[in-house]
């Protein structure tokens, strides 16, 4: 099945509905372009809060927003359309993208597909570790954590088995790793003694592994030290300068030979760009599976193809290894590219404005780095909550998250720690799968 354009407007196909993709749609001129968004999911999610799904603090629906609600066409028929599908091949000769369902023609192609998990040459890890790159992965992680708490509460006659069930290792000391380790640490410190009286909190073992000599490598030294101190307050065992060599039979082996027993490893150690196949041209994605682009986000070596956000590799004097793979970079690149496509000229180079970075460890524990200001503790935590709250799509989501956070803060409890396993039957495959 092929989907083609039927009007005089140029067709812009956007792969990926993350921060970059949605900002492209928001700022592109609907009178000039016929816009098609393609994504494997039919909703936008807010990745910075995936760790809260994993720890039972929020529900997936709290931080997700249906594309079709956002892309409804106006009365004049202008707007954008959504096509669900996983783009696997880009045909630059016939200007088509191919999903498992259809082929879609384009005049201009915007690749905003973001990143996926990077296992650093050990792809088999995907079969044994838990990851947090999607709402579905975060939900799977939440179910596993809660399932282990429930089973551990029944091990009254086998304390060793209880400790094994409650052994957690988080790999990666970036913002996601620090946040998810802190969230489990909060459960250990505040929740278990209230809701699981049969479990001794000391039986919960949480280890955080970071290959470099400090946490939050993209933030200031002060933020790294504050985060380390906060994690220790939450009884998280932090291992700096330690890499995971292997994970077999529930044993994590580190590069110095140390062995840690863990029945649940949560991987947040790195990202790599989504991989695409190309036809019509011999093209290979660059370092980290990112697309090498010029300072107007045009993909080098491909005509009428652009890349924005995490999957774009723009090497400049200030960023010789490319810009940080953060939401603000994606948003700023998308807005500039949309403006230049509207004007039909590419006379301005992208200049990233760093608005700062932040991470939270737990209640009243956060770090914020602004241009000339560093904050920590309660004030930083309030700033973190405010920024994340206003960044969510939809007023309903904003209100729901605010209510959940407020309730949890004052009661140390949440109604979202429910265990929902998917049913096995009826057996079926998704449409388009072989």
Q: Which residues are catalytic?
A: 179
Decide: helix, strand or coil at residue 83.
strand
* Crossing angle for the helix pair 377-391 and 395-411, to the nearest 10 degrees: 150
Is 315 within 8 Å of 306 (Cβ atoms)?
Answer: no
Decide: helix, strand or coil at residue 290.
coil
> If you ran DSSP here, which 8-state letter would residue 49 be given?
G
- Edge-to-edge order in the sheet of strand 205-210: 130-131, 264-267, 167-171, 205-210, 237-240
Bridge partner list, 206: 168
Of 108, 101, 111, 109, give the one whose Cα is nearest residue 2. Answer: 101
CA 287 to chain centre: 20
Q: CA angle, corner 123, sides to 275 and 252, nearest 5?
A: 145
Is 221 within 8 Å of 214 (Cβ atoms)?
Answer: yes
Residues found in the chain = 434
Q: Which long-range contacts (CB under 8 A, 24 or more apart) does 26-33 make?
A: 26/338, 27/334, 27/335, 27/338, 27/339, 27/342, 28/338, 28/341, 28/342, 29/341, 29/342, 30/74, 30/78, 30/79, 30/80, 31/78, 32/342, 33/9, 33/108, 33/341
State the DSSP string of 250-270.
Answer: TEEEETTS-EEE-SEEEE-S-
Taking phi first (over 0 means left), then psi (-120 to 50 degrees means alpha), and beta for anything else, what does residue 169 get?
Answer: beta
> If you ran DSSP here, which 8-state letter would residue 421 be given?
P
Longest dimension (CA), the chain: 74
Element (H, E) at 228: helix 221-233
Burial of 69-97, coded b for 16+ CB within 10 Å and e otherwise, reads ebbeeeeeeeebebbbbbbeebbbeebbb
Whether the upstream peptide bond of residue 378 has omega within 30° of 0, thus cis, is no
């Amino acid at each position: 099945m092929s989907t083609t354009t039927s009007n005089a407007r140029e067709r812009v196909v956007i792969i990926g509905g993350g921060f970059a993709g949605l900002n492209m749609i928001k700022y592109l001129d609907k009178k000039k372009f016929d816009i098609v968004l393609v994504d494997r999911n039919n909703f936008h999610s807010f990745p910075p809060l995936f760790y809260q799904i994993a720890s039972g603090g929020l529900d997936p629906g709290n931080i997700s927003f249906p594309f079709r609600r956002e892309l409804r066409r106006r009365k004049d028929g202008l707007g954008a359309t959504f096509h669900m599908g996983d783009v696997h091949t880009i045909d630059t000769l016939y200007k088509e993208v191919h999903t498992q369902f259809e082929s879609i023609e384009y005049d201009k192609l915007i690749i905003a597909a973001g990143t996926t998990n990077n296992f650093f040459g050990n792809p088999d890890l995907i079969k044994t570790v838990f990851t947090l790159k999607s709402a579905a992965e975060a939900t799977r992680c939440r179910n596993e954590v809660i399932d282990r708490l429930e089973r551990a509460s029944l091990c009254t006659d086998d304390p060793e088995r209880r400790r094994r069930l409650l052994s957690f290792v988080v790999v990666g000391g970036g913002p996601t790793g620090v946040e998810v380790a802190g969230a489990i640490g909060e459960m250990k410190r505040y929740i278990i003694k209230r809701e699981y009286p049969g479990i001794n909190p000391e039986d919960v073992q949480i280890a955080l592994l970071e290959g470099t000599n400090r946490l939050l490598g993209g933030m200031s030294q002060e933020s790294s030290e504050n985060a380390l101190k906060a994690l220790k307050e939450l009884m998280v065992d932090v291992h700096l300068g330690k890499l995971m060599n292997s994970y077999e039979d529930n044993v994590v082996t580190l590069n110095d030979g140390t062995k840690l027993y863990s029945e649940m490893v949560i991987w947040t150690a790195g990202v790599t760009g989504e991989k695409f196949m190309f036809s019509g041209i011999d093209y290979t994605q660059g370092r980290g599976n990112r697309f090498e682009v010029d300072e107007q986000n045009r993909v080098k070596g491909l005509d009428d193809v652009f890349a924005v956000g995490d999957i774009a590799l723009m090497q400049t004097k200030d960023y010789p290894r490319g810009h940080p793979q953060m939401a603000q970079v994606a948003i700023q690149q998308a807005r500039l590219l949309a403006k230049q496509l509207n004007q039909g000229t590419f006379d301005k180079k992208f200049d990233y404005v760093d608005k700062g970075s932040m991470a939270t460890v737990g209640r009243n524990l956060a770090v914020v780095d602004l241009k000339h200001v560093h904050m920590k503790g309660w004030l930083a935590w309030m700033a973190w909550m405010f920024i994340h709250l206003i960044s969510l799509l939809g007023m309903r989501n904003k209100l729901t998250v605010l209510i959940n956070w407020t309730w949890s803060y004052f009661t140390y409890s949440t109604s979202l720690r429910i265990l929902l396993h998917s049913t096995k039957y009826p057996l079926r495959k998704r449409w388009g799968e072989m």
